[in-house]
Structure 1
Amino acid sequence: MLNLVILVILAGAIQSCQKSMKNIYYVERMDQQEDSPGNLVDIDWSHARLLDDFISPWQQAPTNTLFRALYDDDFFYFRFDVKESNILVYRNQNDEQEVVRSERVEIFFRQDERLDPYFGLEMDASGRVYDYQAHHYRKFEPQWTWPEGQLEVRSKRLTDGYTVMGKVGLESLKTLGLMDGNRLQAGLYRGRCTQLQGGNAEFHWISWIDPKTEQPDFHVASSFGALVFIK
């Protein structure tokens, strides 16, 4: 009986550890002198850890989404690689909020689990960025913009998908109260646009972390993990 209890405890501990590890992505540091790029397209991503276990909690479908990140003394660099044969992007007035009707990837940052506030970067396959500050629950401030000179995003269309690359100034992450030592609380997502008619879009929602919600929803504390900067 005692052995059975011990086995149950060990199994629970292992499961908890595996869940904890699943919620952490380790951000490798670039060598400041040798690797730090002059621009995004010059980044050598070979040292970045590959995050390839995105999930589709609400639909059984391939995710075809990869993520990598690096950092140096000044910036946090990120990259999404998406495999997609039918890239749907909505364009009307080319307003940044048209991103929410388009094929896109997303990063959310938060100070803590209260999500008061949290910050969103939604980036479509054309490189347009919808950046905002928000408060729980879904109280958006769409006129808010990321601090000047602290954000750059580029995209590249490929024959079988697209890539979105960006860099965020560490200064802005600290100013916004998002850096906790070497840890950054973040959510990583993709909105795969499966149908677009006029301004009406339908999506297949993809996430790094399963938020355990009945309906698709990234704007909850349970959808976040941690990006840990390796010193």
Structure 2
Amino acid sequence: MKTYNVNVIDANHMEINGKVSHPLWEKAEVLKDFSSPWNSEEVESIEFRALHDGTYLFVSYRVNDDSLHIDRTDDSKKSVDNSDRVELFLRSDKQLDPYYCLEIDPLARLQDFMARPNREFDYLWDWPKKDIAIKSHITSTSFSVEMAISIDALKRFSLIQNDGHIEAGIYRAKYNQQQNGQFKPTWITWVNPQTETPNFHTASSFGKLKLENFKLSKKV
């Protein structure tokens, strides 16, 4: 599996503002290894970073894009689903039973749901609001998203393995206007799932986030 190392930082020092501007982000590895295996067009630059302080997993995306498509109908999950966005899927096991999907648009709106194999999606499920914070920022040429996800929630959902790694899918959906005026998404991923058609909802699209100096405490 592809592996990204999540470096550790001192607790209570990180603050997210949506701009990926905090000095601590300089301690993170920069992941740029994204592609669209089902599309021949070149993918605009995407930078993913992650850090942890033992209490929170901090994740950021910085995406080059000067033609954002945002569905502003309302703040529903459906509007997010029709918008440019970044995505983070987290799985509890290789059987994807279950896995959790976090999809965030440039306005920091969240489409979250729990899923099981064969695209069984539970859109009524929500990631606990007390366990996640999201901020974003838009410029004329890009947008960025930051998340702080509590380690406690990752433990409760059995998403951290004994050796301190998390199995995750890191994705992007870019909507482009077609000649008929409709918008069609280009699907972009860190791990090529080797599928004939775009599919993030498969075990082969996941990689590994390895948390530095972190191990699950043994139950007494």
Taking structure 2 as the reference length, the TM-score comes to 0.89
Give 2:27's aligned residue: 47
CA deviation string 1:122-143 (max 9, x = no partner): 0011110001101111111001
Q: Counterpart of 1:115 in structure 2: which amino acid?
A: L
> 1:88 touches 1:196 (CA, 8 Å); kept in 2?
no
Give 1:166's aligned residue: 147
Q: Counterpart of 1:164 in structure 2: which amino acid?
A: V
**SS at structure 2 position matched to 1:97:** helix
Matches within 5 A, 1:37-186: 37=14, 39-41=15-17, 43=22, 44-63=24-43, 64-181=45-162, 182-186=164-168
Distance 2:124 2:144 in 1: 26
Distance 1:187 1:144 in 2: 19
Give 1:11's aligned residue: none
Greater mean alpha carbon deviation, residues 89-98 or residues 202-211: 89-98
**SS at structure 1 position matched to 2:11:** coil
Q: Counterpart of 1:190 in structure 2: which amino acid?
A: R
Distance 1:127 1:175 in 2: 24
> 1:151 touches 1:166 (CA, 8 Å); kept in 2?
yes
> 1:54 touches 1:207 (CA, 8 Å); kept in 2?
yes
Greater mean alpha carbon deviation, residues 188-197 or residues 87-96: 188-197
Q: Counterpart of 1:131 in structure 2: which amino acid?
A: D
RMSD of the TM alignment (CA)?
1.7
Gaps of 5+ in 2: 214-220
Distance 1:96 1:26 in 2: 31
Taking structure 1 as the reference length, the TM-score comes to 0.85
Query: Identity, % of aligned pairs?
Result: 33
> 1:102 touches 1:201 (CA, 8 Å); kept in 2?
no
Distance 1:200 1:160 in 2: 22
Give 1:204's aligned residue: 186
Give 1:59 deviation, angstroms.
0.7
Give 1:60 deviation, angstroms.
1.7
> 2:3 touches 2:207 (CA, 8 Å); kept in 1?
yes
> 1:110 touches 1:186 (CA, 8 Å); kept in 2?
yes
Say yes or no: does 1:25 pair with 2:1. no
More helix by share: 1
Give 1:196 deviation, angstroms.
8.0
Gaps of 5+ in 1: 1-19
Give 1:91 deviation, angstroms.
1.6
Higher alpha-carbon Rg = 1
Distance 1:53 1:145 in 2: 29
Distance 1:116 1:176 in 2: 11
Give 1:6's aligned residue: none
Go from structure 1 to structure 2 and tell me whether the alpha carbon gap of 1:145 and 1:154 turns closer, same or farther (over 3 Å shift): same
How many residues are treated as equivalent by the alignment?
A: 206
Say yes or no: does 1:225 pair with 2:203. no
